[in-house]
Amino acid sequence: MRKPDAGPGSLCDHKSVNEKLAHEIALLKRVQFAKRSEQFSPDQASLLDDLIDTDIAAIEAELEALQPAPVEAKVRQQPKRAPLPPQFPRTLIHHEPDSSHCQCGCALKRIGEDASEKLDYTPGVFTVERHIRGKWACEQ
């Protein structure tokens, strides 16, 4: 959704990142709540605890980093997001450029890919969206 009164570019970007992170926090809180109200095996429950804690910490660090003009340099290390449990079903989402033609006229070469995973939850079912972004480079 686009708001007509959204500010200039950079503010706008920050805002959408904020919204994305807020959405992730909401999802994690939902997971947290589900963990209390649904039955998970002790293993699965402790796994979820770890996942939720590190994810929330990481998201909060990301939000903090977005604040304009931080008062002091950050000393503490940014928590790393925990890898999502391998047993959750994955949906693969590929992101590739529309065209593999470079502006210089050469054909871009696919030199690798980046993958990121996003936890999703509907009551009773955890799934993971695995986003795969191809990395393309100019040959010149």
Site residues, Zn ion (CB under 5 A): 102, 104, 106, 138, 140
**Minimal distance in Å, beta carbon 105 to Zn ion?**
7
Of the pair 68, 112, the CB lying nearest Zn ion is at 112
DSSP characters over the chain? ---TT--SHHHHHHHHHHHHHHHHHHHHHHHHHHHHHS---HHHHHHHHHHHHHHHHHHHHHHHHHSSS-SS---SPPPPPPPPPTTSPEEEEEE--S--B-TTSSBPEEEEEEEEEEEEEETTEEEEEEEEEEEEE---
Residue of minimal CB distance from Zn ion? 102
Of the pair 74, 101, the CB lying nearest Zn ion is at 101
**Minimal distance in Å, beta carbon 112 to Zn ion?**
17
Of the pair 111, 138, the CB lying nearest Zn ion is at 138
Which residue type occupies 122?
A: T
**Minimal distance in Å, beta carbon 133 to Zn ion?**
19
Of the pair 27, 102, the CB lying nearest Zn ion is at 102
**Minimal distance in Å, beta carbon 98 to Zn ion?**
16
Residue that the structure tokens 């805002």 belong to: 15
